Amino acid sequence: MWRINAYINAFGPPAWGVCFNDSAPTELVTAFTSALAEAYRQGPDHYLARPLAGSAYRDPLQAVSPLIRRGWQFDRPDLNTFAITAPDRLPTLEYATGGLDPAIELETRAARWHLWTGTSSARPFWYATASTGTPAALLRAVTEAVSNPAPLPRWHEDTHSYVRDYAQLSLILPPRPPSPTPLDVRRAAASRRPAGGQRPALEHYQPTGPARPAPIARACLDRRTFLSLHAPEFFTELRLPFHGQAAVGNTYLAAPAPGARPRLRIGFTRTTYADTYGGIRLAVVHPDRGEIDAAALSFLDHGTFDRRDVASSRPLDNSTRATFSRHHRPGQPLWEEAEVTGLRDAIEQYTGVWFPGAWTACTPHRAAGGNAHPAPAQPSARGGPSSLPLSPACVGAGRARSRALLDPDAKLRGQGATRSGPGTRPVLL
């Protein structure tokens, strides 16, 4: 229960008192205390201002005007009480006429103002009371909050925070975090650069021990190269419209801005499981300074394998969810049923920061070396390379499934909507 009293004299009785029971929505308490803090900042003439009929700022009708504006209806349950009730007939504000005992107002529900919700005032779902001297501006903050139709958050499992049989529920999903701005990307890049702007030299060493036996070396080579045999097909499916692009082994290289020294490099990110990959890694590489920026794009957060995982009913804690590995169906690509739209849109956002205008260039490319595998823009079949040149319609901005560049850890949680006081205002669960 919330009890709030105001005093003219620290040793005297309260000038006014307000009470919210333990089931009252916390939003009402927040609205009242916020208004009280502002009135206290303005001084005693505001937080001790007794209601005065006809006054521009102290008229008791100020407390009722938000309810009238939102369609509440007047009622007269008895000769000593005026009431105004919401359209759904659940929340009601009552105003008692005549003289009242100040002590009884502060200790019981027989106060000047009585706000309650339910089917009977004798057993309400929740209630709030205010004594005669409560400033009208503070009461108005409560009536504004209780009649506000804006939704409020509630956890669906916390049934004590709403009345199940009278609540209006509506499941929602939390919004995805916003994409980083170009300034965010530049700041992140600057924070990772070594002092002086130079990339520290790598230490090279020559192993002094005996060479590994040939069988072990061949086994390691097989594990490194199995993805290299298929990676060009994956980069082909991305249909990236950059100049000088080529797939070398399991890495994609391109010069999005002709004449500029920085290059774009794309590789695969491993998981904790052998030969299993969970996303791609973008990097901006300078011939002299080395890697100057990087961003990881996970398959999970960009919906790459959502369709496959839903169709196969893979649980969220399954190690193969949103990944691909060397174990796949014969005749099918490693990334069978992958949807690369989210990845492609994220790559477009990233390259738009480091290589402005490069995405719209859309010019054909050539392989740049003897062992380089070209990555044409338009595959002839899913998972297979194509000899068609890049299409001018390669701009991917504005896709409905555009994903954020950075990888959030938030998981989708089902929520819903009810009312803060049943029948009062819808609240999100």
Give the DSSP per-residue string, 286-351.
Answer: ETTTEEEEEEEEETTTTTTTHHHHHHTT--TT-TTTT-EES---TTS-TTTT---HHHHHHHHHHH
Please, are residues 319 and 357 in contact by the beta-carbon 8 Å criterion?
no
Q: What's residue 260's pLDDT? A: 81
Tell me if the pTM is above 0.85: no
Q: Is pLDDT of 223 > 80?
A: no
| Helices 341-354 and 231-238, packing angle to 10 deg | 80
Banded pLDDT at 416 (limits 50, 70, 90)? very low
Question: Lowest-pLDDT range, 167-171, 249-253, 345-349, 407-411?
Answer: 407-411
Output the furthest CA–CA distance in the chain (Å, rounded): 104
Tell me what pLDDT residue 198 has. 52
155 residue type, one letter: W
Could you state, in order of their start, the residue ranges of all structural domains in the chain? 2-148, 154-174+415-429, 179-193+225-411
Tell me how far CA of residue 271 lies from CA of 193, 343, 410, in angstroms.
26, 18, 19
What is the rounded distance in angstroms from the CA atom of residue 31 to the CA atom of residue 29? 5
Q: What is the pLDDT of residue 136?
A: 94
Written as six digits, the tokens of 18 are: 């307000």
Task: Work out the pLDDT band at 160, boundaries 50, 70, 90.
Answer: low
pLDDT over 80 at 245, yes or no: yes
Q: Of the spans 155-164, 185-194, 293-302, which averages the highest pLDDT?
A: 293-302
pLDDT of residue 283: 94
